[in-house]
Amino acid sequence: MLAAAFVFAPAYSLSPFYMAYLMLRPIHILSDRANSRPQTSCSSRQTGFTLVELLVVIAIIGVLIALLLPAVQQAREAARRMQCSNNMKQLGLALHNYHDTFGSFVPRATGTTSGSTQNNGRLNGLIPLLPFIEQNAMFDQIAAGNGTKPPYGGNTWEAWGPWDVCPEMYRCPSDNYSGSLKNHFNYRFSLGDSMGSTLNATSVRGMFAKRDGTSFRDITDGTSNTIAMSERKVNEYNLGERSGQIRVTEGVVTGVSDLTTSPINCLAEASGRFYLDASAVKGRGGWWFADGQAERAGFMTVLPPNSPSCVEGNNGSGDSTTSLIAPTSNHPGGVLTLHADGSTHFVPETIDTGDLSLAERSSGLSPYGVWGALGSKAGGEVPSGS
């Protein structure tokens, strides 16, 4: 009766190894009975597994591997997600230390705009943060220049000395980018629910604007209720995964009209497709960590995580182009975010985004639900539950 109780116990209450024991036990019983039969003097039987028994054992081992492999993969992803969260927490400390030093947070894009060595004000805010993540040597090398090429100027996509590298802290371990680029990065600054082409301090509802730093006093919605940074996958359309095509969630769909008045147009353009022609999708998935353009260094809290991204122009180049960039990741079901208070949170793809057919607002409550409210630093939204 005791054995019967074990046999009919629910499968989910038994470990895989005990299940294997229960499956193998009848084989051993039959083998023992066969071995206990009296042997004649004219014949002798050798004990061991038959071919059928061996095949059964192999099948059981295969089942056990199939049961354990997903658990191993989940454990690895959990470790990668934890490391990603730790990276963001370090960035949160860097942002706070920068604020303590200069009285404001780092701008999303900064630099010079005049002279022969000007950089068009496109220096990514990740560069000034380098000394605050213990990367002083890299920052000094970038700031010094070499006399023949300015520290940051000319074509921003050209590989030059220190620009051709990127600290590991700026990369998510779950990103499986396998290309040859060494200066790719994942972490980006929040522009809130703003999509306009003039992304300065007076028009950006999020924490990070071009050439202007936000301070704690500007975040009237509360630092724990305001997103500072998130992540975006590095696109791989240069790897030729599919000839002439690129993954929608890893690039930016170009030529989409009326984004500021109806951001749902971006979703309609992608139409649920996984791939689009490369001629209509530009690679803006974190290739150059030095470039602070909105579509290369920022994201918007309008479309939910892991949605397509779009620009109104044909090339998606420069802050003069209206863009709608969604955060993306390889974490199952959503992305990690860093809040202004230094805490990290996981935001699911199913987060409330309000009415995406409404136009963006310059002030007041965000029309884009909880997601839009988390992006605005002074929208006046009242937190509700989780």
pLDDT band, very low/low/confident/very high, at 157 (cuts 50, 70, 90): very low
The string of DSSP codes covering 228-284 is EEEE-PPP-GGGTSSTTEEEGGGSEE-S---TTT-THHHHHHHTT-SEEEGGGEE--
**What's the structural domain count of the chain?**
1
- Whether residue 277 is contained in a domain is answered as yes
Could you count the other beta carbons within 10 Å of the beta carbon of residue 268? Answer: 13
Q: Measuring CA to CA, which residue among 232, 231, 225 is closest to residue 339?
A: 225
User: What pLDDT was estimated at residue 333?
Assistant: 92
Residue 275 lies in a domain: yes
Q: Measuring CA to CA, which residue among 87, 296, 324, 305 is closest to residue 210?
A: 296
Tell me whether residue 157 is in a domain: no
- Indicate whether 223 belongs to any domain: yes
Percentages helix, strand, coil for the chain (3-state, rounded to 5) are 35, 10, 55
Q: Tell which wins on pLDDT, 74 or 61.
A: 61
In a domain, 69, yes or no: no
pLDDT at res. 50: 85
Of the pLDDT bands very low, low, confident and very high (cuts 50, 70, 90), residue 71 is confident
The pLDDT of residue 247: 63
Q: What is the mean pLDDT of the chain?
A: 77
DSSP state of 291: B
Model confidence, pTM: 0.76
The model's pLDDT over 245-254, given as tens digits with 9 standing for 90+, comes to: 556 666 677 7
Which of helix, strand or coil describes residue 190?
strand
Bigger pLDDT: 274 vs 367: 367
Is 97 part of a structural domain of the chain? yes
Q: Give the residue-averaged pLDDT of 114-134.
A: 82
The model's confidence at residue 159, banded by pLDDT at 50, 70 and 90, is: very low
**Assigned token pair, 26:** 């009848």
* 103 in a structural domain: yes
Whether residue 202 is contained in a domain is answered as yes
Please give the residue range of the domain that contains residue 340: 84-111+121-143+165-174+181-375
Pairwise CA distance, residues 184 & 237, whole Å: 14
- Residue 235 contacts residue 363 (beta carbons within 8 Å): no
Looking at residue 115, its pLDDT comes to: 66
